[in-house]
Structure 1
Amino acid sequence: MTIGQNATQGRRWLITGANSGFGAAFARAALAVGDTVIAGVRRPESIAALMAEFPGRITPVRLDVTDAEQCAQAVKSTIEEHGRIDVLVNNAGYGVVGAVEETTEDELRGAMEVMFFGAMRLTRLVLPHLRAQRSGTIVQVTSMGGMLSFPGVGAYSAAKGALELASEALAGEVAPLGIKVLIVEPGAFRTEFAGPALQSANVIEDYRPTVDVLRAALSGSHGQQPGDPAKAAAALLAALELPEPPLRLALGEDAVTAIRGKLAAVGADLDATAELSLSTAIDD
């Protein structure tokens, strides 16, 4: 069955951060196949063009994912006005660069509030409705940085990695209830991630050799990233239609290569330390 046939018509999507980047691409892809989108955005006027292009099928809802009251109201109004939620996409997020020591507690907590606690809050708010329906999909947009990390992205990867592992547990919990979980792990895509919104911690000179390389690479990559958000959205819709959707969907050659490298490195460590690991059992 191909995207756009009757079986995929009429889904209601609640998408956070729907006014730019992946959120906007996912919204456009859902609308293009005839679905309805409830766009969670901090500024409803920011999706005026998309509303004009798809009149009557995209509804803005004011939503800052760090605001518990706004999250609850967004889910409540979606259910009241549209009857159901079929797909929740937790997409809101931002980039933050800095060595672990350079990153303040406020910066670390800010990343966790948006990319972990905000996503988990909306997930928990939507779950009672999905359980009642015995259907639905929760899409957690993490990153290849949710599966691996490197100098300069400790705070970002911590937030994305936390969401990855909570979502892995969630997938097993809700599978018997007819609910699916899909973790999306993009690499470098042409979004606003590396643009002016990228947050950078205060610099400590000792970390310049390890972190400045990343700072320069990110700022230099803005607008030049290899990934196309529209193609990422098409891949997401295709994955949702698979008979057995995967738990994880890596997007981009860089993500696939980096994640394979991480898995190989973990395997190598296990092999190198197997004798030590297996020497720890209590003697009979």
Structure 2
Amino acid sequence: MTTNRTSRVWLITGCSAGFGRELVLAALAAGDRVLATARDPRRLDDLVRAGAGRVRAAALDVTDEDAVAAAVERAVAEFGRIDVVVNNAGHGSVGAVEELTMTELRALMEVMFFGAVAVTKAVLPRLRAQGSGTIVQISSMGGQLSMPGFGAYCAAKFALEGLSEALAAEVAPLGIRVLIVEPGAFRTEFGGSRMHRSRALAAYAETVGPTRAAVDAMAGSQPGDPAKAAQAIVEVLDSPQPPLRLALGGDAVDAIAAHHELLRTELADWAKVSRSTAI
């Protein structure tokens, strides 16, 4: 248990499984209190029992702004304040850009991007009034790089990271911190029933086919432990100088580092052309 600090109050979205569930347990282990949310709060009954009075459950669909506002008010009513907000609700998606319908893409963005923004905006007045608090955005290593078949998913994460980087600079003088978490492959439901799969076109069998196959085969083989990821997030929150971005998993560290090197090399290779555009 974390010691020598005041008990925090968490509001966490998407707690029925994966990172959300493990974050509730990690917060409890740290001596904190949690409003755990899910579309179906009955799936959180065991967490409420485990919390022994330190966990409350609430129904929350992050695409419903009234429900978002109600969850924020519920957290304050139950515990008096909010110290950590975790935007975790979401699901995976696999499909080539042409394969995705616009309805599918908009639905994904509503949950993965606009839902997270709605929760963030709803809680900011509370955090500003306190002069403290942390907003944790569960992104992905796909928030910095993309690959065939993950265009929609990564687009949502890219958008969340872009907004969150600006947000971090805006709220830092107000005593509010932002932490962008970028996991690699962890043993969650990402590749299971919560993964949206678009229709498949034969034209993309060579490029997107391997991604589809990897997604279908990944359950139970991912190298990351969600419980250890949750513990790492708590550890970073306790740090006096936390990073803006936290990669989780060796695969995330390696993939992001390789992508940064690719970008650096490409920028240097074309710098003469880039600079030649000056008046």
> Which bracket does the TM-score occupy, shorter chain normalised?
over 0.9
Cα deviation for residue 82 of structure 1 reads: 1.5
Gapped regions of structure 2 (runs ≥ 5): none
Partner of 2:161: 164
TM-score normalised to structure 2 length: 0.98
How far apart are the structure 1 equivalents of 2:70 and 2:240? 34
Partner of 1:218: 215
How far apart are the structure 2 equivalents of 1:224 and 1:188? 9
Partner of 1:107: 104
Secondary structure at the aligned position of 1:181 is classed as strand
Q: Structure 1 stretches (4+) deviating beyond 6 angstroms?
A: none
Partner of 2:234: 237
- Partner deviation per Cα, 1:166-221 (whole Å, 9 max, x = no partner): 00000000000110000000000000010122111001110010001011111111
Partner of 1:277: 274
How far apart are the structure 1 equivalents of 2:24 and 2:74? 18
- Partner deviation per Cα, 1:103-144 (whole Å, 9 max, x = no partner): 110111111100100000010010001001000000000000
Partner of 2:121: 124
Determine what percentage of the aligned residue pairs are the same residue.
Answer: 56
Secondary structure at the aligned position of 2:208 is classed as helix
Cα deviation for residue 224 of structure 1 reads: 1.3
- 2:242 alignment partner AA: P
Cα deviation for residue 145 of structure 1 reads: 0.4
Cα deviation for residue 81 of structure 1 reads: 2.2
CA RMSD of aligned residues (A): 0.8
- 2:66 alignment partner AA: E
Partner of 2:95: 98
Partner of 2:139: 142
| Residue correspondence of structure 1 range 173-192 to structure 2 within 5 A | 173-192=170-189
Aligned residues: 279
Partner of 1:64: 61
- Partner deviation per Cα, 1:150-176 (whole Å, 9 max, x = no partner): 000000000011000100000000000
TM-score normalised to structure 1 length: 0.97
How far apart are the structure 1 equivalents of 2:87 and 2:93? 18
In the alignment, structure 1 residue 262 sits paired with structure 2 residue 259: yes
Partner of 2:3: 5
Partner of 1:76: 73
Partner of 2:86: 89
Gapped regions of structure 1 (runs ≥ 5): none
